[in-house]
Amino acid sequence: MSQNKTRPTSVSPSDFIASIEHPVRRADAETLLEMMTRITGWEPKMWGPAIVGFGQYHYRYDSGREGDFMRTGFSPRKANMAVYIMPGYSDHSAILARLGKHKSGKSCLNINKLADVDLDVLEELIRAGLADMAEKYPE
């Protein structure tokens, strides 16, 4: 039974964000912190050294791997902002088509800067991802 290596820490998300050197990335992280706190109603927590996460769920795969992870969150990386909002259970292509400039993987959205996207559409996408999570992993 393997566990997820990325776990909550005691580091303050606000302190982590304040330490981001790049001014645009820091400002974008502050915006996402406010937005995700408002949308979720959950207290943000650091997951590992560089992910700000909201909520938590327990997963168990057929392989036997199980663990706990955040329901949504973001990581201000050097190259871009990784936003963890699409759990990969639903097709969000209609929302993504209206979002603006981005790249996406199965569960991660990469944005160079928030100015490149429509924040109202981003909020819609975050809510859709949380609804997917709530369906698959009820609280």
Residue 3 resides in a domain: no
Residue 49 resides in a domain: yes
Q: How many domains does the chain contain in total? A: 1
Q: Would you say residue 40 has pLDDT above 80? A: yes
CATH code of residue 108: 3.90.1150.200
- pLDDT at res. 4: 63
Residue 74 resides in a domain: yes
- pLDDT at res. 20: 96
> Domain range for residue 37?
13-134
Rounded mean pLDDT of 87-106?
Answer: 87
Q: Would you say residue 1 has pLDDT above 60? A: no
- Sorting pLDDT into bands at 50, 70 and 90, what band is 122? very high
pTM summary value:
0.91
- pLDDT at res. 29: 98
Rounded mean pLDDT of 53-74?
Answer: 89
- Sorting pLDDT into bands at 50, 70 and 90, what band is 17? very high
Which tokens is 119 given?
Answer: 């924040």
Q: Would you say residue 2 has pLDDT above 60? A: no
